[in-house]
Amino acid sequence: MNRRKFLTILGSAGVVSALGTAKVAEASVHTFPYYDDSYGVLHDTTRCIGCRRCEEACNKVNHLRKPSKPFSDLSVTATRRRTSAYEWTVVNKYEMNGKPVFRKLQCFHCNDPACASACFAKCFQKQPDGSVTYDGSQCVGCRYCMVACPFYVPGFQYDEAFDPLVQKCTFCEPRLKEGKLPGCVEACPVDALTFGRRSDLIKVARARIADNPGKYVNYIYGEFDAGGTAWMVLAPAAEGAAVPPDDPALAGPDLKQLGLDTHLGNRPMGELTYGALGAVPMIVAFWPVLFGGAYAMTKRREAMSQLEQEKMAREAKDDVAAAVDAAVRKIEETEGEGAAERARRAMTEALKAREAEAACSKHGEDK
């Protein structure tokens, strides 16, 4: 195992077994337990050459569907691709200082995963090793997780006729359990990806910034963003930046050029999702998906009894109603009564429209 790729050599005992004694810090800001010793990956975009070997390795180790274009075709990086059910990681090309910069996208394995907070079937788990895993056995296909994820990561197997599932990067959890590196990290030819304890990676990132004045934005993306993430990003600084920025507001323009969202704040996204499914505009925009998804249960509905379906639909409706109440309260606090009332009206109308639509389609199916 390459020491530069893996900061903490653990020997044959394997990565995960070393976490047996990991201290679980119940920090009050976290909706989920925070594992002090958990792992992460640092993506240094100043090293990345956009070769897509990580994509290829991910495809191989996870036995994913072969893409239509070969991994040797680097032209695809020019498109702002997103991860999907069959592409758990993609590398996109951006431009900074007139030069190409490549960034790898995958699940960030948030410390407080919004996907997990949003999933009422409890399919997602934050594991002590840092990974956010998904168990599809209870998934009803409502896709709340996809709406909740601030990084637009999970993909849905829309083309699967039976049992379509949500899919995303697993942090190669099965490989970690065997003491191996994530497939993508192992494959990277230029050590743009470094695996290690999250706390060590933060130190490494700080050292790189300090040792190379002017090279990096003085900001580790993911250290605090969205409540902190296991996967973090180092970005190059824009040329001529007199003082490298050290807060997201100042670092924003540089980070934005790499497609990184600098408006997520430091508050755990799970906390927001849990109470209000994020922001109200999102609820309004995605209401049909949320309610329709929960109501229809995709393909699984056929396998459920009438009573189970009704119970699930009732619970989903209660969940969404509670989320709306929480969102309205939040808007009232920040934007006043008028805005809160308008938001409630918009959401209620959207719900009614969707209920009518769902009733129509159910009637059609029952005939």
Site for ligand SF4, rule CB under 6 A: 48-54, 57-58, 61-62, 88-89, 91, 102, 104, 106-110, 113-115, 132, 149, 151, 153-154, 168-172, 182-184, 187-188, 190, 192-193
Nearest to ligand SF4 of 190, 303 (CB atom): 190
Nearest to ligand SF4 of 93, 344 (CB atom): 93
For residue 55, the minimal CB distance to ligand SF4 (Å) is 7
For residue 139, the minimal CB distance to ligand SF4 (Å) is 14
For residue 175, the minimal CB distance to ligand SF4 (Å) is 7
DSSP track, 253-268: HHHHTTT----S-SS-
Q: Kindly list the distances between the CA atom of residue 47 and the CA atoms of 44, 141, 189, 255, 350, in Å, as whole numbers in the listed order.
A: 6, 38, 10, 16, 47
Nearest to ligand SF4 of 30, 362 (CB atom): 30
For residue 21, the minimal CB distance to ligand SF4 (Å) is 24
Closest CA to 219 of 250, 257, 198: 250
Return d(Cα 37, Cα 17) in angstroms, integer.
Answer: 12
Return d(Cα 216, Cα 45) in angstroms, integer.
Answer: 9
Nearest to ligand SF4 of 151, 287 (CB atom): 151
Nearest to ligand SF4 of 87, 254 (CB atom): 87
For residue 142, the minimal CB distance to ligand SF4 (Å) is 15
Return d(Cα 3, Cα 17) in angstroms, integer.
Answer: 19
Return d(Cα 192, Cα 12) in angstroms, integer.
Answer: 24
For residue 178, the minimal CB distance to ligand SF4 (Å) is 13
Instruction: Enumerate the β-bridge partners of residue 95.
Output: 100
Residue with tokens 């309260």: 329
Single-letter amino acid, residue 61? V
Nearest to ligand SF4 of 153, 235 (CB atom): 153
Q: Kindly list the distances between the CA atom of residue 58 and the CA atoms of 40, 52, 268, in Å, as whole numbers in the listed order.
A: 16, 10, 28
Closest CA to 151 of 201, 90, 93: 90
Single-letter amino acid, residue 123? C
For residue 217, the minimal CB distance to ligand SF4 (Å) is 18
Q: Are strands 39-44 and 231-236 parallel, antiparallel or unpaired?
A: parallel
Return d(Cα 336, Cα 307) in angstroms, integer.
Answer: 41
Nearest to ligand SF4 of 54, 76 (CB atom): 54
